[in-house]
Amino acid sequence: MRHTLAIAPQFYVTAPQPCPYLEGRMERKLFTALQGEGAEALNDTLSRQGFRRSQNVLYRPSCSDCSACLSARIDVSAFRPSKSQRRTLKRNEGLVRRVTSPWATEEQYALFRRYLDSRHSDGGMADMDVFEFAAMIEETPVRSRVIEYSQRETGELVAVCLSDMLEDGVSMVYSFYAPDRPKDSLGTYVILDHVQIAREAGLPYVYLGYWVPGSPKMGYKAKFSGLEVYAQGEWQRMRDPRDYDTELHPLSTDPIAEQVANIALPGSRPAKG
């Protein structure tokens, strides 16, 4: 009999480049391709180990002298909205959620450009054209959805989130929203609504991406109750955010070969958490 063995994914490391979150730091990523019949199982398994998806790639920070970036997720069962978050829900009662397949539109891109030009004009995505935007939305080998939020009365599109449906949760891959409505806290609202989406689907977690202590850009994630971070190879309930001072993180990380050896793959030992 001929037996076909599953091909283990190959992992690679990017060249160091300036960190977009912490001044004076250099970032490096460990990544692997996401493709083929096993793409969804690999995405599920590695997401539970702090990886994130970008199109057909899964990546995780693997900086040589810093470990500040921590993958974050909300435990839906432990989440309770704060007074401020309840006000945000109230202010946005006039929005309608629409879930679609991952297909880019001109209306989405127009909102995306307004968001970048206002909030991230000097970021790595600032020069993204309509074709690159379409690739970001549409190039997905897993179960992804585009979730749009529009004003009920006018139909105006005010927020969009590209989200993956994982085995154990909803992963918010990328979101953007109208920059001229700061009082509505649309970014917070989209996260709050994803908690509701996870509840409706019976899924335990909402994956938020990376939280970086010391980075003002990432401070909003620490405001959600029930937050967990992936540290020392397992998910831990978030402590006081002030305890995660960036200077307290190790100044060295495990060698790449050791990091890869400790990654659990589909069908192998389960990842912690």
Tokens 């993180």, located at residue: 249
Range 195-199 average pLDDT? 98
Sheet holding 57-61, edge to edge: 11-13, 29-33, 57-61, 52-54
Residue pLDDT, tens place only, 221-242: 999 999 999 988 899 999 888 8
Tell me which fold the domain 74-228 belongs to: Aminopeptidase (3.40.630)
Please identify which residue in the block is written with the tokens 């030009």. 117
**Domain map (residue ranges) of the chain:** 74-228
3-state secondary structure of 150: strand
pLDDT score at 1: 40
**121-147 pLDDT per residue, tens:** 566 676 889 999 999 999 999 999 999
Look up residue 88 and give its two tokens.
């945000």
Pairing of strands 205-211, 169-177: parallel
Instruction: Round to whole Å and give the CA distance between 102 and 106.
Output: 13
CA 186 to chain CA mean position, Å: 17
Q: Higher pLDDT residue, 235 or 118?
A: 235
Question: Exposed, middle or buried: residue 18 (CB in 10 Å: 0-12, 13-18, 19+)?
Answer: exposed
pLDDT at 207 over 90: yes
